[in-house]
Amino acid sequence: MPCHPSFAYLLLSSYFMSSTTMPAAAPSATPALRFAVMGAGAVGCYFGALLARAGHAVTLIGRPAHVLAVRDNGLRLRTAEMDVQVPLAASTEASAVHGADVVLFCVKSSDSEDAARQMRPHLAPGTLVLTLQNGVDNDERVRAVLDDSTPVAAAVVYVATAMGGAGHVVHHGRGELVIAPSPRSDAVARQLTAAGIPTQISDSVRGALWAKLVLNSAYNALSALSQQPYGPLVQVPGVTQVIADIVAECLAVAAADGVTIPGDVQAAVRGIASTMPGQYSSTAQDLARGKPTEIDHLNGYVVKRGAALGVPTPLNHALQVLVKLAEARGVSA
């Protein structure tokens, strides 16, 4: 199965960037920062490459094959405008966050607490940890593990990237961040923006993260269980009604949780299949490769919050269980 970029930015950015954010920080001439990317997959590698090209010290922390490739040849960054090798540091050890001013936290949601525990002894007081992940509660979970002197801010990511192989990241489009306020958010936003990563600060990050959660909950599990891309998936009789019912459960939980979701989520959900008909969900790709999925932090999170708030979520629960069964088999459904 081909590797596809994340789809969420394609529709979400058009609905939420203008309504949930304050003006972008202006470029700054302040000294360069030291960045560590914890969980250097496609998203972290893309942003890390741009920061390194802008003169910041960047260390990627990832899997051995990826780290070796970066150490030997630098990180290959391929976009529509360039194909370059970017020299930067790389490590397999969480201790490499030592000395960082900012950590771009990009591990899978299921690994958040473990990765935070690994980092904790090596973080200097005041280091800003930005969570660039799927799901809506990673910042809370990371904050609960780290020392009180370490600020943690959630980020909404609007970018399409994919790994082209070890040491090779491919950019397909966009590249903005919206981050929550913190004592260091303004200064970091200025540096990110100056590096070519338009960054805005918003009090409404939670609502935007929930909007992405609704989209992921609507499509990821169905694409995974059927091993179908979005276009053919919605052509099967009954699927669009099932998706509408999944979304209704998600929105009921969000409302009970006091979350205001910006934009027209229903329109965003309807547009996915026509905008990206050939795309498989990340959950489908994980199952096809025999990898653990993030289902517990997608549909599973809706189920968990629904149970806590007394909101029934039978469809989301069924999808969570079915994906877990497929995961346990180690093969796609």
Domains of the chain: 21-202 (3.40.50.720), 206-329 (1.10.1040.10)
pLDDT at 121 over 90: yes
Q: Exactly one of 212, 291, 304, 324 is catalytic; which is it? A: 212
- In this structure, is the dihedral angle defined by the CA atoms of residues 210, 216, 219 and 221, taken in order, positive or negative? negative
* pLDDT, position 159: 84
Write out pLDDT tens, residues 207-218: 999 998 999 999
Segment 11-24 shows an average pLDDT of 44
Mean pLDDT value of segment 50-78: 97
Backbone angles phi, psi at 87, to 5 degrees: -70, 130
- pLDDT reported for residue 320: 98
Supply 20's token pair: 């949930």
From the CB of residue 270, how many other CB atoms can be counted at a distance below 10 Å? 18
Q: Is the pLDDT of residue 19 over 50?
A: no
pLDDT at position 330 is: 78
Residues 122-134: pLDDT tens digits? 999 999 999 999 9
Measure the N-to-C terminal CA separation of the chain; round to a whole number of Å. 14
Pick the closest to residue 316 from 200, 222, 175, 233 (CA basis): 222
- How sure is the predictor about 96, in pLDDT bands with cuts at 50, 70 and 90? very high
Q: Evaluate whether 220 touches 295 at the Cβ level (below 8 Å).
A: yes
17 has a pLDDT exceeding 70: no
Assess contact for 178 and 200: CB atoms under 8 A.
yes
For residue 86, what are the contacts with CB-CB under 8 A and spacing of at least 6? Answer: 49, 52, 53, 74, 75, 76, 77
The DSSP call for residue 92 is S
Q: How far is CA 319 from CA 41, 186, 205, in A?
A: 26, 40, 26
Q: How confident is the model at residue 29 (pLDDT cuts 50, 70, 90)?
A: low
Distance between CA atoms of 263 and 273, rounded to whole angstroms? 18
| Predicted pLDDT of residue 263 | 87
Distance CA 8, CA 159 (A): 8
Cα–Cα distance for residue pair 194/259, rounded to 1 Å: 32
| Mean pLDDT value across residues 286-304 | 94
Q: What is the pLDDT of residue 30?
A: 67
Kindly report, residue by residue over 247-284, the tens digit of the pLDDT. Answer: 999 999 999 999 999 889 999 898 888 887 887 888 99
Reply yes or no on whether the pLDDT at 305 is more than 60: yes
Minimal CA–CA distance to 269: which of 288, 242, 309, 291? 242
- Given a cut of 70, is residue 8 above it in pLDDT? no
Q: Given a cut of 90, is residue 98 above it in pLDDT?
A: yes
d(CA 273, CA 326): 24
Alpha helices in 30-164 (DSSP H): 42-53, 64-73, 112-119, 138-145
Q: Could you confirm whether 108 is annotated as catalytic?
A: no
**What is the predicted pLDDT for the residue at 44?**
97
pTM for this prediction: 0.84
**Mean pLDDT in residue range 12-25:** 44
Q: Is the pLDDT of residue 15 over 60?
A: no
Task: Place 162 in a pLDDT band, splitting at 50, 70 and 90.
Answer: confident
**What's the chain's average pLDDT?**
90
CA distance 173 to 313: 34
